[in-house]
Structure 1
Amino acid sequence: MRIDSSISAVVTGGASGLGLATVQALRAAGVKVAIFDLNPETGEKVAAETGSVFCPCDVLSDESVDAAFAQARKANGQERVLVSCAGGGNAIPTARRDKNTGEINIFPSDKFEWVLKLNTVGTFRCITRAAAGMMTLDPVDGERGVLINTASAAATDGQMGQAAYSAAKAAIVGMTLTIARDLSREGIRVNTIQPGIFDTPAMARAPQQMKDALGAMVPFPPRLGRADEYASLALEMIRNTYFNGETVRLDGAIRMQPR
């Protein structure tokens, strides 16, 4: 698909990190972009800086997602691109014995469920709305749209305490080919990016010593990933019409250790 001012895009989690870098790359190419994000202050600021439209959106809510898509389409027209970057996680062992008291605690089921709802269901909720909208469009060069999801290295080599996050991201990997097959007759492609350790706002809160140590774990290049490198791959997935049903690791060849 050509990337220019003739198309519009939606980026969830677009006010920071990987989503923000994708918004910037799409806008640099002339694409009309709608930013879906929970944070109105950051979202409005980024929208003003990038010439995008900010649409308040909670991917946990059908009503919020429907309203955000309606707002985006009113401003920019029907999107042909959806990049889903919204997500998050927690770090809780499956079961843990307290070193001091010997008390055994388990991973609360509601906290496990929340991570799956945020990452897997939230991504799927946006996919269904975008796909339905794209299906109303006439094909351009044989295709109607492109959906890009965000998984994680944790999907295949999650560390201790990442049971929920690993499950949620593995589900995104697992549904990629199926959704690509579901939408193939409509000319809509689906791919997933599986990032390793990236230098995002969440990582920025970590001490520099920790970030240096994490970067040194990467075989090559021995550093944290940059958000613009994620965006670069996202744009290639949009451009390359034969890129479909794939999950691509973007991690400098790292394979995460248990902890």
Structure 2
Amino acid sequence: MDIRGCSALVTGGASGLGLATARRIVDRGGDVVIVDISAEHGEKAVANLGAGARFVAADVTDEAGVAAALDAAAQRGPLRFVVHCAGRGGDRKRIIGKDRSPGDLATFAEVVRVNLVGTYNVLRLAAAGIAASDPLDDGDRGAIVLTASVAAFDGQIGQTSYTAAKAGVHGMTLVAARDLASWGIRVNTIAPGIMDTPMLGRLRDDIRAGLAASVPHPKRLGEPDEFARLAVEMLENPYLNGQTVRLDGAIRMAPR
């Protein structure tokens, strides 16, 4: 698979992991539609990326919004690639509080709705869009990259909702790859560790330094472009399918 001359859609593409991925795609000669809920950040990102990028505002849980973004991508060239980075962090809530009160169900459901239901919404609509493209010589029509987290495997205390959602993304990866194999569509997932995204940028310097020190090697936060490099490899490597790959410097998260 070659990104050059093809169209891609990147959710959460206005910042962080998504923006780095969109930049890599444009640099390799692809055309990208960025999906994000922030029009301000989305337009700024497109201005930086140049003529090879366009922004469409949409919530990943909204069927009509995602479908419209995929249509916009298909109009710019054969749609072959989708990288889903959009999501939200989880609220640190224990299953029961110190007073024995149960955790809030609505909060749990909202984290799962955005991170898991939103992922499935993008996955199903992206697959339908890519399936409309003509197959290449090896039968490959395109590829989808999802985003989980090391929390899918090493969930910390208070991360029940986030871990459940990201474990669900990991769990659907192989099933999706098998499901979509007859259409020539590959599906892989990246499980990032502690990445230097705008969300972590709001933390105090001493907290950021402590997080970096917890990584075995290299002892630093992951860079968004390192995520983007792996995402592009997953898009272009025709034999990479059905895998969740940890991108974490060998970190294994402690209980808290």
TM-score per shorter chain, which class? over 0.9
Asked if 1:203 corresponds to 2:200, the answer is: yes
Unaligned 5+ runs, structure 2: none
Question: After the TM superposition, which of the residue ranges 249-258 and 44-53 deviates more from structure 2?
Answer: 44-53
Partner of residue 189 from structure 1, selected from 177, 180, 186: 186
Displacement of 1:58 = 0.4
Q: 1:193 and 1:37 mapped to 2: Cα distance? A: 19
Task: After the TM superposition, list the runs of 4 or more consecutive aligned residues in structure 1 that deviate by more than 4 angstroms.
Answer: none
Conserved? CA contact 2:79–2:133, under 8 Å = no
2:10 corresponds to: 11
Partner of residue 125 from structure 1, selected from 121, 124, 127: 121
1:58 corresponds to: 59
Q: 2:238 and 2:78 mapped to 1: Cα distance? A: 20
* Count of residues paired in the alignment: 252
Partner of residue 244 from structure 1, selected from 237, 241, 244: 241
Partner of residue 155 from structure 2, selected from 155, 158, 161: 158
Q: 1:144 and 1:65 mapped to 2: Cα distance? A: 20
Partner of residue 112 from structure 2, selected from 96, 111, 116: 116
Unaligned 5+ runs, structure 1: 98-102
2:77 corresponds to: 77
* Amino acid aligned to 2:178: R
Q: 1:64 and 1:236 mapped to 2: Cα distance? A: 28
Displacement of 1:30 = 1.1
Q: 1:199 and 1:16 mapped to 2: Cα distance? A: 11
- Provide the TM-score with structure 1 as the length reference: 0.95
* Amino acid aligned to 1:119: N
Conserved? CA contact 1:11–1:82, under 8 Å = yes
Q: 2:61 and 2:187 mapped to 1: Cα distance? A: 21
- SS in structure 2 at match of 1:30: coil
2:87 corresponds to: 87
Identity among equivalent pairs (%): 49
The alignment's C-alpha RMSD in Å is 1.1
- SS in structure 1 at match of 2:219: coil
* Amino acid aligned to 1:86: A
- Provide the TM-score with structure 2 as the length reference: 0.96
